[in-house]
Amino acid sequence: MEKFGKRFEGKVVIVTASTQGIGFSIAERLGLEGASVVISSRKQKNVDEAVQNLRDRGIEVFGVVCHVSNAQQRKNLVDKTILKYGKIDVIVSNAAVNPTVDAILEIKEPVLDKLWDINVKAAILLLQDAAPYLQKGSSVVIISSITGYQPPTAMGMYGVTKTALLGLTKALAAEMAPNTRVNCVAPGFVPTHFAEFITGDANLRRELEAKTLLNRLGTTQDMAAASAYLASDDAAYVTGETLVVAGGMNSRL
């Protein structure tokens, strides 16, 4: 069992899209550090399995089905959290889709809508629902992507939605200060089910590894550690910032 501190003792945390991949690892890390974690994703079966996995690790966890682009389900996620725990201390907005490899000028409008709705709008609308319940000293972590800095050809529009989250982080940090801090994690390439079409290709994977300074792809735990730092009081004087966690790939000056 990893030995973590207990930075989230007594805290209530919502993580969206958290039944697998980066979202699951974030929920697990915050839970191991003492948080009561509310996890969610679109399918009941996935929610049930993830809840069981986290419970087996001694984590206080509550699962709710939530498709983030569904207004009723977003409201339900917040309402059920309040009903069970009475407050919210941390929100990690992790849900995202990448439904196309089309060039931006060829994307059909419904696909464009889906990208904006889930990757950008849903994050805003969930925070609108949750904001009244956020405690003083609370924290929001938005999960963007390194593609937000340099949208790659095959996922150009996805990258652009992730660029929008960098701006959203800045704007919300100003709006929600001083009671709530808002920060962002921009993961590099992490082998998850979500990124399978990139990291599952051995040649492409080697190419990506070579572009990092650390000669490896990221892990979901790397992203969880960065998110836990930003969400915790260790980052009490950090807001409006994006932490790039990409092994030195494409880093900013």
Catalytic residue positions? 158
| Half-sphere exposure for 42 (CA within 13 Å, toward CB) | 8
Q: Which of 106, 104, 181 is nearest to 142 (CA)?
A: 181
CA distance 247 to 253: 14
CA distances from 212 to 116, 156, 217, 251 (A): 29, 21, 8, 10
Both tokens of 158, joined, read 């996805």
Dist. CA 233–CA 109, nearest whole Å: 42
CA distances from 84 to 20, 61, 235 (A): 23, 11, 27
Neighbours of 163 (CB within 10 A): 18
Q: Which residues pair with 244 in a beta bridge?
A: 186
Q: Give the whole-angstrom CA distance, residue 18 versus residue 177.
A: 26
User: What region, left, alpha or beta, does residue 57 occupy, with left being phi > 0 and alpha being psi -120 to 50 degrees?
Assistant: alpha
Q: Are 247 and 214 in contact (CB under 8 A)?
A: yes
If 0-12 CB within 10 Å is exposed, 13-18 middle and 19+ buried, where does residue 45 land?
A: exposed
How far separated are the first and last CA of the chain, in Å rounded? 37
